[in-house]
Amino acid sequence: MLIEGLVLDCVIGINPWERLVPQRITLDISIDTDLSAAGESDAIGDTIDYTSIAEAVTNEVQGSSYGLIEALASRVAEICFEDPRVDYAEVTLRKPGAVRNAPTVGVTIRRSRVP
């Protein structure tokens, strides 16, 4: 499952001026799970609902106030694992305009339910 280019605004950053106004971030979320049941049944109950994940992430991010993008990306990964069917999640968080002369900076967090 993939959610790509989710654009959200939140308070993020360690500099005092970054704490004053929400900034734009973008998220790519990739989730691995067994999709065979949904492929056979064509039933939403047999898969992970990407709309529910996007809504949960949106609610968390827009109400958050993190200093580091690493911490926020980790929290987004935790949200993905609230569904017990998720085996692996990869979250890429980008913060456009954070570094002069670069269109964006970011991190990729990878988490697995089993080592």
Q: Which residues pair with 110 in a beta bridge?
A: 90
At residue 4, what are phi and psi to the nearest 5 degrees? -120, 130
Matching residue, tokens 């692996």: 88
* Active-site residue, selected from the candidate residues 79, 93, 95, 98: 95
Whether 84 is catalytic = no
Catalytic positions are 95
